[in-house]
Amino acid sequence: MQIRPLHDRIIVKRIEQQRKTASGIVIPDSAAEKPEQGEVMAVGDGKRLQDGTISPLQLKVGDQVLFGKYAGQSVKVDGEEILVMREDDVLAIIEASDQAARKAA
């Protein structure tokens, strides 16, 4: 199933973080907190302003973002949990540093 968000809403898939502490202790799923990072899977057309014009969203598909712990509405689609949230709920875009890009190359 394909989902297309409306207006200023976005679809985000949570990015799973490591479930192991620095000392090597594995954290069970029941005790782990949900990650507050995700990847944008789809974006709406934009926010409708009072004068009727549409302001395009700053986010695009593929952006990795930070969001609040209780941001968005969790929905299951095809057995996969996704978040539907407004662009305003996003706190920051995670940008790859130059050093990480060099190490990957």
Q: Calculate the average pLDDT of the chain.
A: 80
DSSP annotation string for 11-80: EEEEPPPP-B-TTSPBPPTTTSPPPSEEEEEEE-S-EEPTTS-EEPPS--TT-EEEE-TT-SEEEEETTE
Amino acid letter for position 24? G
Question: Residue ranges per domain, the chain?
Answer: 9-17+31-104
Q: Is 81 helix (H, G, I), strand (E, B) or coil?
A: strand
pLDDT confidence of residue 4: 86
Q: What is the pTM assigned to this prediction?
A: 0.70
- For 50-62, write each residue's pLDDT tens digit: 998 999 888 999 9
Confidence of residue 99 (pLDDT cuts 50, 70, 90): very low
For the domain made up of 9-17+31-104, the CATH class stated in words is mainly beta
- Phi-psi category of residue 79: left, alpha or beta, with phi > 0 → left and psi -120 to 50 → alpha: left
- Partners of 80 in the beta sheet? 77
* Residue 40 or residue 36, greater confidence: 40
Confidence of residue 10 (pLDDT cuts 50, 70, 90): very high
Q: CA–CA separation, 9 vs 15, rounded Å?
A: 19
pLDDT confidence of residue 28: 60
Confidence of residue 85 (pLDDT cuts 50, 70, 90): very high
